[in-house]
Amino acid sequence: MAVTSRLRHVVSSQQFSRALLEDLIARADEIKREPHHFIGRLAGQVMTALFYEPSTRTRLSFEAAMLRLGGATMGTDNAREFSSAAKGETLEDTIRIVSGYADVIVLRHNEEGAARRAAAVSGVPIINAGDGPGQHPTQALLDLYTIRDELGRIDGVHVAMVGDLANGRTVRSLTYLLSKFKDIKIWFVAPAQVAMRDDLKAHLDDHHVPWVETADLDAVLPEVDVVYMTRIQKERFTDLEAYNAVKGVYRIDKDAMSRMRKYAILMHPLPRVDEIAPEVDSDDRAAYFRQARNGLHIRMALLDRLLS
Ligand code: CP
């Protein structure tokens, strides 16, 4: 089925229809299977990676995706220091300038809503690569792709979102995407200090997606198909005492894995700190490195759909 949904900027997960998600997943499958079909697809096009916050996976997988499609890349790490933001230039002016040089801008910023502000003034597509505690929609695309890849389905999956849910933009974006599928159930597992925000729970209610809120991870582990661990994000806390009160609250080790279902998977957007013990890495259900690898294929699919 041809998907005609228009996609210009990628700012939030709510923009994606189920049909569009299925199209991107099918395209990523094709890229994985027959990468030679996509060589040179974006020849002559330029991607700028404008990153105001640190990144390993998002920045480098976007760059690799663009290069593998035949395009070129340029950009700046630590744009707060190395771009003219350091001289007081506004984000809007920077985007106006860069959109005259590039065909697409991949933007990571520390402020929630930055990608939407950038899209409002940009002459070329903006891709939100994480805006503070707001959203990270392309991480959610690779997460969704990983669930389908590992479990063979998305409909009917039961997912535990674990950790820093108040600041977790990947959890927010993935939850919005999952709400477009059938028979989903979500457990939000977090200490009260970093519980999921009410707007997302209201969204699930509006879309008739059942959810449970608890702090008891041990009780949830045997119930779910996917355990989605996240890091407590020290950089989002203004008060070190508040961070210390919740850091290390959940840890998946061999003992915790023994409580998970035999076919369930353990995911993490990475980077991890101490919430998944390295002893777990060799368990077949530890999907997080395969998940990160999937970022390349789904970002190739997204760039191809936006620019070809
Ligand atoms: N998952 C993720 O966004 O990782 P990076 O911060 O390394 O890009």
Name the phi and psi angles at 43, rounded to 5. Answer: -60, 135
**In tens digits, what is the pLDDT along the chain, a chain of 308 residues?**
444 456 899 999 999 999 999 999 999 999 999 999 999 999 999 999 999 999 999 999 999 999 999 999 999 988 988 899 999 999 999 999 999 999 999 999 999 999 999 999 999 999 999 999 999 999 999 999 999 999 999 999 999 999 999 989 999 999 999 999 999 999 999 999 999 999 999 999 999 999 999 999 999 999 999 999 999 988 888 888 888 888 888 999 999 999 999 999 999 999 999 999 999 999 999 999 999 999 999 999 999 999 99
pLDDT at position 5 is: 59
pLDDT at position 2 is: 47
Rounded distance from Cα 60 to ligand 1 centre (Å): 9
Residue 154's alpha-carbon distances to 115, 182, 204, in angstroms, are: 28, 8, 16
Ligand 1 atom index nearest CA of 130:
3
Q: What homologous superfamily is domain 13-135+294-307 in, according to CATH?
A: Aspartate/ornithine carbamoyltransferase (3.40.50.1370)
Kindly report the pTM of this predicted structure: 0.95
Is 285:246 a contact under the CB 8 Å cutoff? no
Rounded distance from Cα 208 to ligand 1 centre (Å): 30
Q: How far apart are CA 85 and CA 41, in angstroms?
A: 33
Q: Which of 51, 52, 53, 56 to mutate to test the pocket of ligand 1 (most atoms within 8 A of CB)?
A: 56
Is 272:228 a contact under the CB 8 Å cutoff? no
Specify whether 297 is catalytic. Answer: no
Question: In sequence order, what E strands does the chain have?
Answer: 46-51, 72-76, 104-109, 126-131, 158-162, 185-189, 211-214, 226-229, 265-267
Rounded distance from Cα 138 to ligand 1 centre (Å): 10
pLDDT at position 77 is: 87
Q: With respect to CATH, is domain 137-292 assigned 3.40.50.1370?
A: yes
Which residues contact ligand 1 via a Cβ below 6 A? Answer: 55-58, 130, 136, 139, 269-271
3-state secondary structure string across 87-118: HCCCHHHHHHHHCCCCCEEEEEECCCCHHHHH
Location of each CATH 3.40.50.1370 domain in the chain = 13-135+294-307, 137-292
Choosing from 6, 33, 87, 262, the catalytic residue is: 87
Ligand 1 atom index nearest CA of 270:
1
| Residue 205 burial by Cβ neighbours in a 10 Å radius (0-12, 13-18, 19+) | exposed
